[in-house]
Chains A and B, each alone.
Chain A
């Protein structure tokens, strides 16, 4: 289309040059730096020169090994048990500290263990916290992406009706989106509070006191779930609007034709609405996935990764190291891992949805 216009290199560069320079300096350059720095030992401020360290940062973050141990036995060959009846195993310290027979286990710690009959397999990791962060982030994404996307579609279908005052409801559902996630997180800390939190009061009121009070953010088994619920509450309106704009591209004549054919509401959704939303679905899924992988502010405001690392996430770890500990290279390596994950998942999503169409 632009070929219709006169060629002018000078004008082109004058008008687009500043934008190109800014993107180059503040997006491309740091992106390239992230990759390069992740192979060094760069710190924010350091008296020592920067050195190339190869994959050491990645090995440190992702290093995993297994160790299978037999139970301790006494002289009679019986399995030793402690006071609670739990089977006793040799101390891991004996393998991970200065044991010349196991040089690959040096500095590792227990991540989790599995029992196989009598013997127990320990999964050891160089950086247990980072691996927990990795798993938590995947849990976060795997729950948030379908639930938030699905609820947003439900809301969009509900809002996409000709009813008096429907715009008001649309405006209300969208409201939390314009509120900063930092504000929302602090507000919900109060809602989730273990003593006078609104949620506990509500639950105990509707159950006439049957549901016990829970310290939602202070309990390792509920903290991540609580943050997930709040994140969905805050962002669902955003994706509702995107679904809505997709719904409005579907021609009403299709629904009229469907009604004449006697299609049930489910059939008209299945055969008219859903196929018409294919592109929107891909977009919503990719956007939610990218946003969810970057989860940070909620964690920083609500739990700082705790309790017991149950809410550690990838970005929270990257910031804790890169900024908190001024370990630029470690933080960069985490950033690169995050980027590789996000990129491969969005390519995968594109590939899957392309195969089907």
Chain B
């Protein structure tokens, strides 16, 4: 008996060692990023020769962060990203959930056709429509405070409106709504509630999990967007954080500043993720239950 319990312990220990070694591969580049952001360039480069690369030792300061703020309008980029991401997530949750509600609970002409078209867009990678979408965006009219203008380039709306509705989000809501007990909705209908009341008072309060999933996926996609804002925003005023990175590309290798900027735009997301990691992972997993 003692023998088998010893081998059991040994196997357990081996497993933990393997798990830890793999964890090192995933964590150390990120640790290196944050630690390096605190070091002056010369020390940063010297430290890469040893394990000091992963330790906040030596001449530690926030100087790189101040320098990054001086180099580029970092606060503006962060604010733009927060506006674009926040507004898109909110609008997406509303329009995708109302649409899914209509697809699942309401019987109307054209329903099946529209739903299948929306789901078919799942196989269209964004990259294949980016170029014509650029052309369309450059010609779309807009009615604003200064009358009618043509062209959506260099604006918030060009970064928000095309991304409000997407096939995946609609799909997630449709799947979730299908599993809700239909008796609830029927009962509310019998009592004379309007469709919108049913949506707001009955369906939405039950939809916490799918709202979280959809919000997390949209948040990640929007905050990390790169290709689209790169093409449609030339003016500094509307640039999000990922495109703002370009300010740090050409420099004469000020790695400390680059690492500071990378940490600044990444650590809040990582913290948010670690805080809500169960929800994040559940949201990715739920995209996999397509079957």
Task: Report A's interface with B, CB cutoff 8 A.
Answer: 1-9, 11-16, 18-20, 22-23, 25-31, 33-34, 37, 42, 44, 155, 158, 161, 163, 166-167, 169-184, 186-188, 190-191, 196-198, 201, 233, 237-238, 241-242, 244-246, 279-280, 283-284, 290, 293-294, 296-297, 300-301, 315, 318-319, 322-323, 328, 331-332, 335-336, 338-339, 342-343, 346
Contact in complex: A5, B125 (CB < 8 Å) = no
A13 and B195 alpha carbons, distance in the complex (Å):
12
Contact in complex: B19, A169 (CB < 8 Å) = yes
Kindly state whether residue B7 has any CB partner on chain A within 8 Å. no
Task: Report B's interface with A, CB cutoff 8 A.
Answer: 12, 15-16, 18-19, 22-23, 25-27, 29-30, 32-33, 36, 45, 48-50, 53, 95-96, 98-99, 101-111, 114, 117-118, 121, 123-136, 138, 161-167, 170, 178, 182, 185-186, 189, 195, 199, 220, 223-224, 226-227, 230-231, 242, 245, 248-249, 255, 258-259, 262, 265-266, 269-270, 273-274, 277-278, 280-281, 284-291
A1 and B95 alpha carbons, distance in the complex (Å):
22
Interface of B, secondary structure class, is helix
Number of A-B contacts (CB under 8 A): 299
Beyond contacts A8-B106, A242-B284: 20 other A-B pairs, Cβ-Cβ < 8 A, are A13-B108, A15-B99, A20-B99, A25-B162, A26-B161, A30-B136, A34-B128, A158-B15, A169-B23, A172-B27, A178-B273, A186-B248, A187-B259, A196-B49, A238-B284, A301-B245, A322-B131, A328-B131, A335-B127, A338-B125
Contact in complex: A6, B189 (CB < 8 Å) = yes
Contact in complex: A182, B136 (CB < 8 Å) = no
Residue among A1, A2, A242, A335 making CB contact with B129, cutoff 8 Å: A335
Smallest CB separation, B143 vs chain A (Å): 16
A37 and B135 alpha carbons, distance in the complex (Å):
10
Smallest CB separation, A292 vs chain B (Å): 10
Closest-by-CB residue of A relative to B19 is A169
Contact in complex: A37, B123 (CB < 8 Å) = no
A280 and B274 alpha carbons, distance in the complex (Å):
26
Residue among A33, A283, A319, A323 making CB contact with B136, cutoff 8 Å: A33
Contact in complex: B98, A19 (CB < 8 Å) = yes
Contact in complex: B224, A182 (CB < 8 Å) = yes
Contact in complex: A5, B186 (CB < 8 Å) = yes
Contact in complex: A201, B48 (CB < 8 Å) = yes
Residues of A within 8 A of B258 (CB): 186, 190
Q: List 16 A-B contacts (CB under 8 A).
A: A5-B186, A6-B107, A15-B195, A28-B121, A37-B131, A42-B135, A166-B19, A172-B27, A175-B26, A182-B242, A190-B255, A238-B284, A241-B281, A280-B288, A322-B131, A339-B128
A22 and B163 alpha carbons, distance in the complex (Å):
9
Contact in complex: A44, B138 (CB < 8 Å) = yes
Residues of B within 8 A of A22 (CB): 95, 161-162, 164-165
